[in-house]
A and B are shown apart, each in its own frame.
Chain A
């Protein structure tokens, strides 16, 4: 993972801690672990999406509003990379 990727990974985990409402600790969960199986609800994924948009100054287009976009830390990371999110957007 690049420095940008590492920063993004950390920021994603922080957002999941705050908004994911999962019983599992997002700080230690595997990057490829299924977040929905880990307990993230559909409504929580909306909050996660909005927080990601705020943090990385991006907007998820309708075409990306699919379950797989938010199903793991790795998938979210990849989606953010696709949207051009960088660590500059992380406070």
Chain B
């Protein structure tokens, strides 16, 4: 038994599925307006735009859209205004994706004591999927966690 359960975090999960074909259609139809409105310059670059073929960048971009939606589900933003750029999916130095929150998304996370955002992306054929997770702290993140055995981190 833990001595101080109030300081333990609850895990929040979000998942989203995205059709790659829908992303391609939107990019063809609305071109730069779609790409720039939804994705950050970093996301477009990480996905291989503008140099790679559509077969290469489209599934990566679809996975990033799914990633944004998965993070938004974790944020449980209800009806708060949330521009897509506020949730950025970045490819890290070792290839693993990460989440950068800015603007309203960062405020929502802070207000709900959410931290430790993690994301995983995948795609196969015409579908891309993303799952996101974060810790929801009832007490302040970083607060001491008490164990009955006497250890205090």
Contacts and interface: CB of A to CB of B under 8 A. Distances in A.
Nearest to A62: B83
Contact of A46 (B16, B26, B79, B80): B26
For chain B, the bracket of interface size reads: 20 to 34
The B interface, classified by DSSP as helix, strand, loop or mixed, is helix
Interface stretch (B7-15, B31-39, B88-96, B141-149): B31-39
B18 to A, nearest CB: 6
Contacts, number: 43
Contacts of A21: 22
Interface residues of A, number: 16
Interface of A: 21, 41-44, 46-47, 50, 53, 62-68
17 contacts: A41-B22, A42-B16, A43-B18, A43-B22, A43-B65, A46-B34, A46-B38, A47-B22, A47-B26, A47-B29, A47-B30, A47-B34, A50-B30, A50-B34, A62-B83, A67-B78, A68-B79
